[in-house]
A = this chain, B = another copy of it.
């Protein structure tokens, strides 16, 4: 069956990137590979919009999240978790596993942070060393106002740690301009690579915390990475194949331009939302991000079956709801290597499957709304 992947990670990988990933191995401690590695490291600064070094781990995004915690915190410190969904909960879990106290601002799934809550918390509790949040929360499709949050946090002694795993290179994000202190990301979303690379960058303020951090670490110890980067290498065997691919994906990103990619995702998001609304469906959130559209499953319809049947009968992979939202929502991604016609495919498959499952839709109506959106200047 011909398959189409519109899940919010992993996402499709362009052919040229996959071919680079499939190159025969180049040893990681050679001038030939060092050149590839340094080009990728430099290119990541553009994607992160930072002048700081971006470090690469052989891990998925959750490894980079752990790295953010173990490199900045010490046992007994307090972290403020902005919990807007499954990945917000993950921050809490990591912090607790490492003996860091947590304060949690918990929002309903589908809501985004109220920045005044963070401001209040930071005023109430002077011990908060770091605020942990998501740029976009993959599980619910919301976007947090990181620019505003960073304005608040940068005026305090705390740092702002942003999980940009699903948002990077899709949702507007300017690490340095916005004063974000720690950014973590992964390879398998906007960066259009196979899963297996984690990324992290630190502001100077965050580096000061790194120097003082006492949590135990070895594999994710960024100081070892910083030291080795001076020799254009890494402390351990480097994931050379994925980094060869990364170089190609960064070329694609630079070729299109980050601003243009932000615009594309915004337009894809607008079209997708217009499409599902035209079918009479409701969006899951009022604060949608640009990289994934979350949609409520209408009453009486089996949402899990909808997602499964789209995948198994039509070959079109979208994501269902996670945890408590299983069967109650579905998610269509528009990030990375996804363009107008990929979303046309997704909504066409949705129309057909809704019809097949007995939900009354006017076939083609969603697509019409999308085309109208795309045709707008």
Interface residues of A (CB under 8 A from B): 3, 5, 7, 9-13, 18-19, 21-28, 30, 58-63, 66, 93-94, 97-99, 186, 188, 194-196, 215-221, 235-242, 311, 317
The answer to whether B317 touches A237, judged by C-beta atoms less than 8 angstroms apart, is no
As for how many copies of this chain the complex holds, the number is: 2
Taking a contact as CB atoms under 8 Å apart, the answer to whether B24 and A21 are in contact is no
- By a CB distance below 8 angstroms, the chain B residues around A240 are 10, 194-195
Report yes or no: A196 in contact with B27, Cβ–Cβ below 8 A: no
- Nearest 9 interchain pairs by C-beta: A22-B22, A194-B241, A196-B239, A18-B22, A62-B236, A66-B219, A97-B218, A60-B237, A10-B25
Q: Which of B30, B196, B221 contacts A317 (CB 8 A)?
A: B30
- Chain B residues lying within 8 Å of A239, measured Cβ to Cβ, are 60, 194-196
Query: Who on chain B is nearest to A69 by CB?
Result: B218
A21 to B28, CA, bound (A): 19
Q: Say whether A22 contacts B19, CB under 8 Å.
A: yes
Q: How far is the CB of A192 from chain B (nearest CB, A)?
A: 10
B94 & A218 in contact (Cβ 8 Å cutoff): yes
Known A59-B63, A188-B237, A241-B194: A24·B18 in contact at CB below 8 Å: yes
Task: Report A259 CB to chain B, min CB distance, Å.
Answer: 26
A238 to B9, CA, bound (A): 10
The answer to whether A194 and B61 touch across the interface, beta carbons within 8 angstroms, is: no
Task: Please tell me if the beta carbons of B61 and A237 are within 8 angstroms of each other in the complex.
Answer: yes
Q: How far is the CA of A93 from the CA of B217 in the complex (A)?
A: 10
